[in-house]
Amino acid sequence: DTAVSQTPKYLVTQMGNDKSIKCEQNLGHDTMYWYKQDSKKFLKIMFSYNNKELIINETVPNRFSPKSPDKAHLNLHINSLELGDSAVYFCASSQEGNTGKRNTIYFGEGSWLTVV
Amino acid sequence: RKEVEQDPGPFNVPEGATVAFNCTYSNSASQSFFWYRQDCRKEPKLLMSVYSSGNEDGRFTAQLNRASQYISLLIRDSKLSDSATYLCVVPSDTGRRALTFGSGTRLQVQP
């Protein structure tokens, strides 16, 4: 059973294109996230949703737009892709949107985006 | 001081060795700390939470030093399968409900 699943796993696309990454979790969690891991391996939060409501929106370009149709899904749409968007994008979920000790974050396998 | 900082390594150790990593953090009000493990080209996974009194899980021991604002991870009797990147995770000091991940310390256990 895959707890947090995201598609596609690999995506190669040209600059200027628009692409989406889909994410679903079957853990019954209330909070979902999008993280970006760049070539230097820094894992940075981009967005956080709690029960379909946006609670964290980091300073990412507005070309990135998350969509949460329900609390089990959080999709990421990227417009006008740029070379610098190349990275691994991880979807994740947790039971609560806080930083408590028992609030484990479960990550999807990652989506490897390469913009050429 | 950076929000969270780790020595990137790599730490190259022989099987059976004991190895320790430290991680410093800036937010003195932080209450919850974690170590995550990330294998090459895989997603991060929780290794262990760090409690104020320190905690142990098999060969792994996590310690918190509030005075000096660092947490540590000790691995005893290293196995080849311990080779991975270990991410230190602390609450964000920007007031938002989020966790900040360190850039990780890479461990390579050699036969």
Per-residue model confidence (pLDDT) at position A19: 97
Measured between alpha carbons, how far is B35 from B22 in angstroms, rounded to an integer?
Answer: 11
pLDDT values of chain A reduced to their tens digit, one per residue, 116 residues:
679 999 999 999 999 999 999 999 999 998 899 999 998 888 999 998 888 888 877 778 999 999 999 999 999 999 999 999 999 999 999 886 555 655 788 999 999 999 99
Query: How many helices (H) and strands (E) are present in chain A, helices listed first?
Result: 0, 11
Backbone phi and psi for residue A114, each to the nearest 5 degrees, phi listed first: -125, 120
Residues B85, B103 contacting (CB under 8 angstroms): no
Under an 8 A CB cutoff, do B101 and A44 touch?
yes
Min Cα distance A42 → chain B (Å) is: 5
Do the strands A10-13 and A111-115 form a parallel or antiparallel pair, or are they unpaired? parallel
Q: What does the pLDDT look like over B27-49, one tens digit per residue? A: 887 778 899 999 999 999 999 98
Please tell me which of the candidates A41, A97, A107 has its beta carbon nearest to residue B97.
Answer: A97
